[in-house]
A and B are shown apart, each in its own frame.
Chain A
């Protein structure tokens, strides 16, 4: 009888059922058997595979000390002699997606076994790891769990048995930027003209060589005269007036907001709060200067080190933000800053 595929499954603290943001510092550990969504993954794998252990780690613990966590993960996984690592699904969760991608790549490189993960195409982990790691495309949130696990189980079986994989579209993983030669019925010139005609007619068409959406930006020239410059504070950490009067979303924000800093020397927890849904905001609620450093910037303004603090704070939430939204918010805020004559910005993410 054929041996069952030995699978290690990776989860963050949330999906492992340990806790939410308050447990995001949980160090890397391993538990025998399947846990949380791993149980459903086990069912999808059927008798061919067995989740022998679940590796788990807090989102912040991993994001802040990735090298240490990766080394620890290898130590913990080794004794189980796995054939495959499956990480996630991470859906739209940035820190989790990043951890899944890093872990998969590290395990492939150091244990010589295949690995796969799953996440939403807009997860930042995709851009960073798609070239090296098989990533099954999922919906943005955990409501898309079932199809994600099904896709992961299907790809898992193929990766381990060494069956040659088909194209990303066929197999359900995100394109890795690899081009394979294949035979076409018509020469390139004919295909190109057909493609052009379809485009001109307004019919749907698909490029044979899709270009990456990723583009480099030219950095702004350095600021020349700090003592004359207006400096703006911008944050992706969701710091808003208490009660969140403009209903900024905790995740997948659809807007950015502006709040006056006029007359404020610093930000206090009585006036402001953190509504970011991607990290535990209680340290920020105690003192919002911890993520929007108005107190120090006012001090530098009073000392004449900077020309002025721009009197408007720009706020959005970065958690689960699709790149297209972030790009638009950035363009809109940049236009305002330029109009106001702002010459430099301090932008705080998380």
Chain B
């Protein structure tokens, strides 16, 4: 689905906890999420800390759709500016 959105000209931050699959399929903009069962969250944290993590992940996603890519690329939180 992410590939088709990209093909249609809509830059798409594809969040996944299993980047091997989209990297292999050629999804252009891939963002590493927290975990399969809580992709943009962490039930082990306090609600405030969890929300802060989600905010950072979404900010990363927005950074990623503003980034030019030429081939499938995986982004992680360490790249958040």
With a cutoff of 8 Å between Cβ atoms, the chain B residues found around residue A350 in the complex are 16-18, 36, 39
Contacts of A187-241 to chain B: CB distance below 8 A:
214, 216-224, 226, 231-232, 234, 236-237
Interface string of B17-47 (1 = CB under 8 A from A): 1101110111011000101111111010000
Known: A290-B41, A295-B51, A347-B14. A219 touches B29 (CB 8 A): yes
A316 CA / B3 CA spacing, docked (Å)? 15
Which of B13, B38, B68 touches A283 (beta carbons < 8 Å)?
B38
With a cutoff of 8 Å between Cβ atoms, the chain B residues found around residue A326 in the complex are 1
Contacts of A65-97 to chain B: CB distance below 8 A:
66, 94-95
Contacts of A311-339 to chain B: CB distance below 8 A:
316, 326-327, 329-331, 333-335, 337-338
Contact B18 A330 (CB under 8 A): no
A296 CA / B69 CA spacing, docked (Å)? 25
Known: A330-B5, A333-B1, A345-B5. A296 touches B10 (CB 8 A): no
Listed in ascending order, the chain A residues whose CB lies under 8 Å from chain B are 24, 60, 63-64, 66, 94-95, 98, 102, 124, 127-128, 214, 216-224, 226, 231-232, 234, 236-237, 279-284, 286-287, 289-291, 293, 295-297, 299-300, 305-306, 316, 326-327, 329-331, 333-335, 337-338, 342-350
**A290 — nearest CB in chain B belongs to which residue?**
B41
**B27 — nearest CB in chain A belongs to which residue?**
A217
Listed in ascending order, the chain B residues whose CB lies under 8 Å from chain A are 1-18, 20-22, 24-26, 28-29, 33, 35-41, 43, 51, 54-55, 57-59, 61-62, 65-71
A348 CA / B14 CA spacing, docked (Å)? 6
With a cutoff of 8 Å between Cβ atoms, the chain B residues found around residue A329 in the complex are 1, 4
Contact B37 A60 (CB under 8 A): yes
Contact B5 A337 (CB under 8 A): yes
Contact B10 A128 (CB under 8 A): no
Known contacts A231-B65, A345-B11; 16 additional CB pairs below 8 A are A64-B18, A102-B20, A128-B20, A234-B12, A279-B37, A282-B37, A284-B38, A290-B43, A293-B57, A306-B62, A333-B1, A337-B10, A347-B2, A348-B39, A349-B2, A349-B16
**A231 — nearest CB in chain B belongs to which residue?**
B62
Contact B37 A280 (CB under 8 A): yes
Chain B: minimal CB distance from A99 (Å): 10
Contact B6 A219 (CB under 8 A): yes
